[in-house]
Structures are given as C-alpha cells and as structure tokens.
C-alpha cells in the first residue's frame, strides 16, 4: 500500500484526517483497505486541482496599485482631438502672443519673416508653438492624475470655467507686455528679473497653486530655453539683438516661459474635461455604452446557441423514436 506523507496532502483537511484515522486504527484499515487507497488519492487530486485554481493570499498588499501609465492616462479624452485642439491653439493664440515681444524687437526673425499688420512673425513660428502647446499642455492633466490632492481638485474645478481660462491668458498677455515694455525702456536686466520673478510666482499662485504646476513651470523655464538655444545653433531661425547669455539668449526670458505654464495648463485642463464630458454625453444619448452593446451581443449569441442546441436535441429525440418504431 502506498504511503502518503503530510506534504502530499497538505492543505487538504479531509485527506489529513483520513490518513490519520487509517494509520492509527489498523483494524479499520484492514476492513476498509479500499477506502484508504481510493479515497485519499481522489481527495488529494481534488485538493491539488482546487489549490491551483484558487488565488493564493500574498504577504504583500491585497490590492496592488495600478501601473504608473494607467494612472497617468486615466479618464482621458480622445487623444487626436485633444492634441489637435492644443496644436491649433498654439499655432493661432501662441503666435499672436509671441508678437508682443517681436513688436518690441526682443527677437528678430531671420528665416521666412512675415508682417501681418502689426504682427511681426515668421512662417516657422506657428508649427513650433503648436508643438510647444502640445507638449507642455498635455503634461498638466497627466501630472494631475499622478498627483491627486486638494489643490489639484480645486484647480481642475476652476478650470472647468471658460472665464477662468480666458482670465489666465489675459494675465499671460499682460505679463508678456510688461516684460516687453521693461525691455523697450532699457531697464537693467537684473531689475527685470526681480519684477518678472515676483509677478511669475504670483501668477502661479493665482492660476495654478499645485506642486506639479510649479514643477512644470520650472521645467518649461529651463527646458524651453535650452531647446531654443540648441535649435538656433543648428538653424538660425531668429536672434536676440541684446542677448546677455553667450550672445545668443536673453536671461530673463526664463520668467516668460515660467508664467506661460499656468495659462497653458488651464487651457489643457479645460479641454481635457470638456472633451471627456462631451464623449460621455454622446455615449449616453446613443442609448447604450460600448460595454452594454458587447453584453447584449453576447446574450443574443448565447440565446441563439441555446435555441440551436434545443432544436438539435429535439431532432435527435424524434430520430430515436422513429428508429424505435422500426
């Protein structure tokens, strides 16, 4: 007779009790020897099958947190429409705002320059600003998803108001005009730094106020000038007549990029939420969500299969009765 160790029946209380009983009671083993072999073996197989199908409790957290990418992109609208809206805003609104500086001669365009009324710009500006709006704008709702907080909830709620977004862009235009005026008046750059620095921090506090917002503003303030300088070294699209950093860049423009972030963040949050609401409304007005349509189709398929099975069994029964009569 095969011997079964405690390890082979581990996790199976029935098998454990059975082996203990038959190993300790010899008369019972002799009387019911067939029970010892068949019962324990079948019980062992059943327990192994159940243990392989049931999830095992882990020592770690019961519900692992979702992956970083899933959190970042959660509750997102249709990306082509969202990014396209940001790109159009950059090509149009961004070009008009850029004209505030070019009108004062802060930068002079050397490649494909054009003049449209009082707007001095270049044909390369709209696509560049479209890319700028897409990159910086899309980062704001993504970073909001990764950094939930009371401040994040507050700014998202405020950005649902189109008036708040318009006010943020109005403040951006005013700050750009302030910097252009100080430059045109010949104010020393260190004084421009002080004025624009204080204004930029106040602007962030009023139109963002989140940790991820100031991080993105700093990222834009340092990253955008670095990309601009590298690009101008390769392709001289424009130049700064009064540059103080290596003769290629104006140092206080850092603050201009910094206070660009809250306005662009408000636009991205507004676009993100309104597009998502429009998608939800479209799904509800259609009468059923995609998941409900799939469930309905699955139910119809199951009903059809059941009907076909019933017909087949009916035909089989009729055939059997005919054979019986023969």
The SS3 of residue 245 is: strand
Evaluate whether 143 touches 212 at the Cβ level (below 8 Å). yes
Closest by alpha carbon to 41, among 4, 75, 90, 95? 4
Beta strand ranges found along 14-112 (DSSP E): 108-109
The pLDDT value recorded for residue 179 is: 98
- Each domain of the chain, given as residue ranges in start order, spans 1-46, 69-283
**101 Cα distance to chain centroid:** 34
First to last CA, the chain: 54
Q: What is the pLDDT along the chain (326 residues), one digit of tens a residue?
A: 444 444 444 445 544 444 444 444 454 445 445 455 555 555 556 555 555 444 454 444 444 456 888 888 888 899 999 999 999 999 999 999 999 999 999 999 999 999 998 899 999 999 999 999 999 999 999 999 999 999 999 999 999 999 999 999 999 999 999 999 999 999 999 999 999 999 999 999 999 999 999 999 999 999 999 999 999 999 999 999 999 998 999 999 999 999 999 999 999 999 999 999 998 888 887 755 444 544 554 555 555 566 556 555 555 555 445 444 44
The secondary structure of residue 62, as a DSSP letter, is S
Tokens of 271: 């676009």
The pLDDT value recorded for residue 122 is: 97
The pLDDT value recorded for residue 148 is: 93
CA 206-210-213 angle, to 5 degrees, is 90
The pLDDT value recorded for residue 284 is: 81
Per-residue buried b or exposed e for 133-156, using 16+ beta carbons within 10 Å of the residue's own CB: bbbbbbbbbbbbbeeeeebbeebb
The pLDDT value recorded for residue 124 is: 97
Evaluate whether 149 touches 211 at the Cβ level (below 8 Å). yes
The pLDDT value recorded for residue 75 is: 84
Q: Is 36 left (phi over 0), alpha (psi -120 to 50) or beta?
A: alpha
Tokens of 109: 């365009």
């Amino acid at each position: 007779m095969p011997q079964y160790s405690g390890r082979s029946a581990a996790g199976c209380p029935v098998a454990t009790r059975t082996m203990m009983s038959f190993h300790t009671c010899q008369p019972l083993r002799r009387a019911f020897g067939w029970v010892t072999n068949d019962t324990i073996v079948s019980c062992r197989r059943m327990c192994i099958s159940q243990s392989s199908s049931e999830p095992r409790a882990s020592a770690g957290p019961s519900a692992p947190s979702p992956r970083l990418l899933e959190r970042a992109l959660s509750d997102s609208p249709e990306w082509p429409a969202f990014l396209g809206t940001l790109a159009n805003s950059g090509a149009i609104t961004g070009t008009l705002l850029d004209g505030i500086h070019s009108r004062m001669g802060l930068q002079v365009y050397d490649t494909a320059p054009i003049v449209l009324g009082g707007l001095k710009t270049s044909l390369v500006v709209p696509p560049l600003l479209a890319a700028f709006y897409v990159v910086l704008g899309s980062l704001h709702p993504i970073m909001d998803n990764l950094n939930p907080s009371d401040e994040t909830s507050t700014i998202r709620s405020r950005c649902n108001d189109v008036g708040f977004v318009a006010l943020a862009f109005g403040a951006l235009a005013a700050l750009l005009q302030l910097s252009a005026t100080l430059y045109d008046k010949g104010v020393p750059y260190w004084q421009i730094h002080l004025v624009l620095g204080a204004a930029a921090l106040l602007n962030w506090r009023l139109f963002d106020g989140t940790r991820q917002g100031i991080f993105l503003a700093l990222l834009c303030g340092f990253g955008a000038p670095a990309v601009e300088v590298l690009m101008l070294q390769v392709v001289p699209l424009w130049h700064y007549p009064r540059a103080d950093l290596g003769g290629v860049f104006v140092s206080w423009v850092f603050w201009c990029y910094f206070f660009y972030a809250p306005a662009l963040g408000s636009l991205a949050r507004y676009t993100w939420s309104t597009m998502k609401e429009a998608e939800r409304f479209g799904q509800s007005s259609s009468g059923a969500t995609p998941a409900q349509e799939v469930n309905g189709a699955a139910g119809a398929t199951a009903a059809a299969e059941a009907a076909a099975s019933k017909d087949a069994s009916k035909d089989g029964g009729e055939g059997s009765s005919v054979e019986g009569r023969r």
